[in-house]
Amino acid sequence: MTGDESAAGVEPTLRSYGISVESLDGGEPLELTYMTAFPGREVHRREIGRALNALLDRADAGAWDPVRVEATVVRSPGDPLGTWTAEGDWFEALIDDDLTETAFSTRVLHTVSHVDAEDDTNDDGPEGGPNEDGPDDGPSDDREVSDA
């Protein structure tokens, strides 16, 4: 399967998982930009989980050949919130049961960066957004990818 054939159905699958795709380059790496439904100060972990589950389901079905994913999360067009990445071999290891869901999720979460964290110069106190241990952490799909 060529990269174009493999990536052709990725956008509709992501949308079916509730990911608001702004742009998608299905090459290698797969470059995804999506608009968050949670425009706070941190990238929402459940959204990451939904995007990953969409890609994992396509890979499990043989409809996507895992490649490095470079995701940019935006609050609105031109207003980036943060980024995250997932390596193609992480997907393959998870599918082959050589990597646990927890280890996969941990690897992805360690790649998350927030624009506000890099540019934050105000003295408003603690950062807002989802609490690391709060109830909005982790995926909510049937195939759960652990977040820790």
| Residue 21 belongs to a domain | yes
| Residue 140 belongs to a domain | no
Burial 56-89 (b: 16+ CB within 10 A, else e): bbbbeeebbbbbebbbbbbbeeeeebbbbbbbbe
| Residue 142 belongs to a domain | no
Q: pLDDT tens track of the chain, all 148 residues?
A: 444 556 779 999 999 999 999 999 999 999 999 999 999 999 999 999 999 999 999 999 999 999 999 999 999 999 999 999 999 999 999 999 999 999 999 999 999 999 976 554 443 433 444 443 333 444 444 455 554 4
Q: Which domain holds residue 102?
A: 3-116
Q: Which CATH number belongs to the domain containing residue 7 in this structure?
A: 3.30.70
| Residue 68 belongs to a domain | yes
Number of domains into which the chain is organized? 1
